[in-house]
Structure 1
């Protein structure tokens, strides 16, 4: 069985980030940076509960904010999916691929990407119902203990399958998979025996990036302020830049993981 090598994956992540840099940078600017910048500058303002608000009022404020932001987030998600698949297509293509061809390919794959996301949401919802609903329904001390056990199992399964489903997008981009079930099955096959290793690798990278982003965001917030006007524009600009870099790194990690495991699997098949 092929074992996932974190060091080799990180090295290949850096290789991918440098590969086709002017082209991937242009796609990232248009499909990742600009939509997030527009959202920061022109999207709905966050709703802050009033001081001394009750839990019901806080929950109502969050629900209202979620309803207002949902259409924008969905639109940005679709645009980002096109850019992400286009970048992966450039990185993983075995023959020369132009930016136009990569983006046309990505547009054709939008229904597949949406179907995959819906499928994963259904699976996540089913896990919540199976693991958390019994404890909530039972109530009392026994129900509380059952709920804690369910939460632990849910977090563990979510982490494990995060690793197992990590290469769905690279599979779609490399193998031109239109069937969402085939893409999910392909990811499970490629990552077999490496779910926890892949999760740990991605989790460590994300933790480092989040800490760095929080430090940068805190410094910019102190210097520029967070109110309306110039402060909001500067903070939004920095958030969009940091978010774009994070998205590119995440894409490169999944691409490097797929390249390592799929190539090793092919070599093992012909031994």
Structure 2
């Protein structure tokens, strides 16, 4: 059984981020950055609970915020899924692939990746309800669903999940730790920069514009890094287990 090497995967992730930079940059800007920026700038303003609010009032305000943002979040998620598959298609292709071909492929696989995300979301939800630890483990075991769709064009969502489960056997915790450590660094950096921008811009329109830029910018960085490390981990185990060769 091949052991997952975090150091090698990180080096490969950096190389992927450098590869096809003009092409992936265009896709990322259109499908990852601009939708998030549009929601940050033009989406509904958060509902603030009254001063000295009770628990019930705080809960009601939170529920209202979730409901009013839900359609926007779904829209951003769809754009993100589309862009993710297109970028991974460029990175994992065995031959030269154009942006148009990658986008066409992503369009053809959108329903599949949507079904996969719904199924994996349900599995993770159940896992986190079972004292959290199973949910964390499932993150590592299901980390290859998007690369598998992008690379092998598997249209059966159940087969995608089963293949990811098989490929990550014996490496679930290592892959989760890899994803967690990188994500933690990005979150810390985003919090520090976001707090600084909030102090500089204030609570007015300038603050909202700057905050939206920072939020969308860090969202873009976090998503690109997440895509790269998932693709790099997949490439490593696909190569060692099945002898796949990537361009």
TM-score (norm: length of structure 2): 0.95
Q: How does 1:1-271 map to 2 (within 5 A)?
A: 1-127=1-127, 131=130, 151=131, 155-225=132-202, 227-267=203-243
- Give the deviation of 1:128 after TM superposition: 6.2
Indicate how the Cα distance of structure 1 residues 128 and 159 shifts in structure 2: closer, same or farther if over 3 A, else same: closer
TM-score (norm: length of structure 1): 0.87
1:86-128: CA deviation from partner (whole Å, max 9, x where unpaired): 0000000001111001011101111111111221233345446
> 1:257 & 1:47 partners in 2: Cα distance?
41
1:180-226: CA deviation from partner (whole Å, max 9, x where unpaired): 0011011111111000000111111111111111111111111111x
> 1:127 & 1:254 partners in 2: Cα distance?
20
* Number of residue pairs matched by the alignment: 244
> 1:30 & 1:125 partners in 2: Cα distance?
30
In the alignment, structure 1 segments of 5+ residues that lack a partner are 132-150
- Give the deviation of 1:39 after TM superposition: 0.5
Q: Which residue of 2 aligns with 1:137?
A: none
> 1:242 & 1:208 partners in 2: Cα distance?
12
> 2:127 & 2:237 partners in 1: Cα distance?
28
Q: Helix, strand or coil for the counterpart of 1:211?
A: helix
Please provide the CA RMSD for this pair. Answer: 1.4
8 Å CA contact 2:140, 2:173 repeated in 1: yes
- Give the deviation of 1:51 after TM superposition: 1.7
In the alignment, structure 2 segments of 5+ residues that lack a partner are none
> 2:10 & 2:233 partners in 1: Cα distance?
9
Q: Helix, strand or coil for the counterpart of 2:66?
A: helix
Indicate how the Cα distance of structure 1 residues 128 and 20 shifts in structure 2: closer, same or farther if over 3 A, else same: closer
